[in-house]
Amino acid sequence: MDDPLDLVDFADVLQHGDPTNWTFQGEKPGSGVPAHSASAPAGTLKIYELYKDEFDDEIELHYFRHPDGSVSNVKVTPRS
């Protein structure tokens, strides 16, 4: 199974620090819902996770978890 932290964009690493140093805060409400994107195969889930980055800022990690365990479309956003 893919680890989405391994797929964080380098620009996000520069802004938020090393993902291995982020602190998991839990899943955001509404996480784990079926993805309805045309590019997402059936059974794909949209995952939203909350973290504190290396600088103690709250951020969200958004990604697709596919039925085979792979991950795609990893995005880091400010906490909303």
Q: pLDDT tens digits for 46-70?
A: 999 999 999 999 999 999 999 999 9
pTM for this entry: 0.92
Buried b (16+ CB within 10 A) or exposed e, 3-30: ebbeebeeebeeebeebeebeeeeebee
pLDDT value, residue 37: 84
In angstroms, the CA 41 to CA 35 distance is 8
